[in-house]
Amino acid sequence: MSVLVRTPNNQIRLYCKGADTMIMERLSEKDTSQLLRQATLQHLDKFATDGLRTLCVAYKIVDGEYCEKWLNSLKDGKALQKMQVIFGW
């Protein structure tokens, strides 16, 4: 699940929530320290060992112009058509 949020300083962020494996493998290497990544993976592994289901949340700063184009294509139905092709809906 994802949501776009405009912050008080007018920054646009795309927040994404999902399974730990899906989120962790998509994180940017350059924006995440190896120490933090390893610590997080260890915690997730411990939670899984304890039988707990885990979710992760990540965000990306989105360029306003790109966001506007994407939202307009969504209104036109083009984004949905692309998702149908990608996901086979």
* Each residue's pLDDT expressed in tens, for the chain with a length of 89 residues: 888 888 999 899 989 999 999 999 888 888 778 899 999 999 999 999 999 999 999 998 988 888 888 878 777 766 666 666 655 54
Residue 83 lies in a domain: no
Say what the pTM is.
0.70
Q: Is the CB of residue 40 less than 8 Å from the CB of residue 5?
A: no
Residue 39 lies in a domain: yes
The answer to whether the beta carbons of residues 19 and 55 sit under 8 Å apart is yes
47: helix, coil or strand?
A: helix
CA distance 13 to 5: 5
Closest-CA residue to 14 (of 58, 66, 70, 56): 58
Instruction: Specify if 24 maps to a domain.
Output: yes
In a domain, 6, yes or no: yes
**Domain count of the fold of the chain:** 1
* Domain-located, residue 10: yes
- Is 84 inside any structural domain? no
Domain span at residue 14 reads 2-63
Tell me, yes or no, whether 28 lies in a domain.
yes
Question: Is residue 88 domain-resident?
Answer: no
